[in-house]
């Protein structure tokens, strides 16, 4: 065997020995365990959202739906926003017990960044983590429901003072609607939290007025 041939075979052998990091198959996965129940909510890269609920001694229940490209892109941006990623880290309380529900959400963003956060039933979450948990809970409750139309949040339907209810039940007041950009500023009624969104974004996390 010539020197070139040996070098070629050596290069192939070395390449085969180097483990290849598999590309993530999901945008996020939220695993929640409490008592005898385990719930897994996963949004795959093909835009399929899957919720699987497993109870010890029972057959697992599963639901699936496919997000539109627009909805998927919204959540990819939402979970990559610094206002969300600032919630990274463990947020567990010191409370123990079999009935406490513990959760961990892991995110694999389109740009390759990865982050996660964890919490339990009694955790005191910062606003950034609450923002993420709310979006996850909204997706978990979205099966079989029709997404509102962007027209439901037109400027004439949500003048300042309008109260909008987020999917998790939290209420927000419309503070300002920019007529030029269409951006809507909302502020939490019971939470010191404000955000600026477009009407087509409001429909993903809020119920129509």
Q: Same topology for domains 26-140 and 150-205, yes or no?
A: no
- Residue 103: the pLDDT is 96
- Residue 17: the pLDDT is 52
Nearest Cα to 71, choosing from 115, 104, 27, 105? 27
The pLDDT tens digits for 31-65 are: 999 988 999 999 999 999 999 999 988 888 999 99
The pLDDT tens digits for 74-88 are: 999 999 999 999 999
Residue 191 to residue 177: CA distance in whole angstroms = 20
Confidence band for 11, pLDDT divided at 50, 70 and 90: very low
Considering only residues 3 and 82, tell me which one the structure prediction assigns the higher pLDDT.
82
- Residue 174: the pLDDT is 95
| β-bridge partners, 62 | 52
Considering only residues 12 and 186, tell me which one the structure prediction assigns the higher pLDDT.
186
The pLDDT tens digits for 115-174 are: 999 999 888 889 899 889 989 998 998 998 888 888 899 888 999 999 999 887 889 999
Considering only residues 133 and 20, tell me which one the structure prediction assigns the higher pLDDT.
133
Contact 187, 175 (CB under 8 A): yes
The DSSP code for 200 is: H
Cβ partners under 8 Å of residue 78, min gap 6: 84, 135
Confidence band for 1, pLDDT divided at 50, 70 and 90: low
Stretch 8-25: mean pLDDT: 57
Domain boundaries, the chain: 26-140, 150-205
Stretch 169-186: mean pLDDT: 90
Contact 40, 29 (CB under 8 A): yes
Third-level CATH fold of 150-205: SH3 type barrels. (2.30.30)
Matching CATH number, 26-140, of 3.30.1560.10, 1.10.8.100, 3.40.50.720, 1.10.287.130? 3.30.1560.10
Residue 10 has pLDDT above 50, yes or no: no
Q: Is 0.85 topped by the overall pTM?
A: no
- The helix/strand count (H/E) of the chain reads as 5, 11
């Amino acid at each position: 065997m010539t020197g070139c041939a040996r070098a070629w075979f050596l290069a192939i052998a070395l390449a085969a020995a180097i483990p290849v990091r598999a590309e993530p198959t999901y945008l996020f996965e939220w695993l929640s365990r409490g008592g005898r129940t385990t719930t897994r909510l996963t949004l795959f890269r093909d835009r399929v959202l899957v919720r699987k609920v497993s109870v010890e001694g029972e057959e697992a229940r599963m639901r699936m739906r496919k997000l539109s490209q627009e909805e998927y892109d919204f959540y990819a941006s939402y979970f990559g926003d610094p206002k969300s990623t600032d919630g990274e880290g463990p947020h567990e309380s010191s409370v123990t017990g079999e009935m406490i529900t513990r959760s961990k959400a892991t995110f694999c963003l389109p740009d390759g960044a990865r982050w996660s956060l964890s919490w339990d039933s009694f955790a005191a979450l910062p606003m950034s983590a609450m923002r993420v948990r709310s979006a996850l809970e909204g997706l978990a409750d979205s099966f079989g429901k029709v997404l509102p139309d962007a027209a439901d949040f037109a400027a004439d339907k949500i003048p300042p003072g309008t109260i909008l209810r987020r999917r998790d039940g939290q209420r927000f007041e419309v503070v300002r609607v920019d007529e030029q950009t269409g951006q809507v500023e909302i502020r939490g009624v019971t939470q010191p939290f404000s955000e600026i969104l477009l009407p087509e974004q409001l429909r993903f996390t809020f119920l129509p007025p």
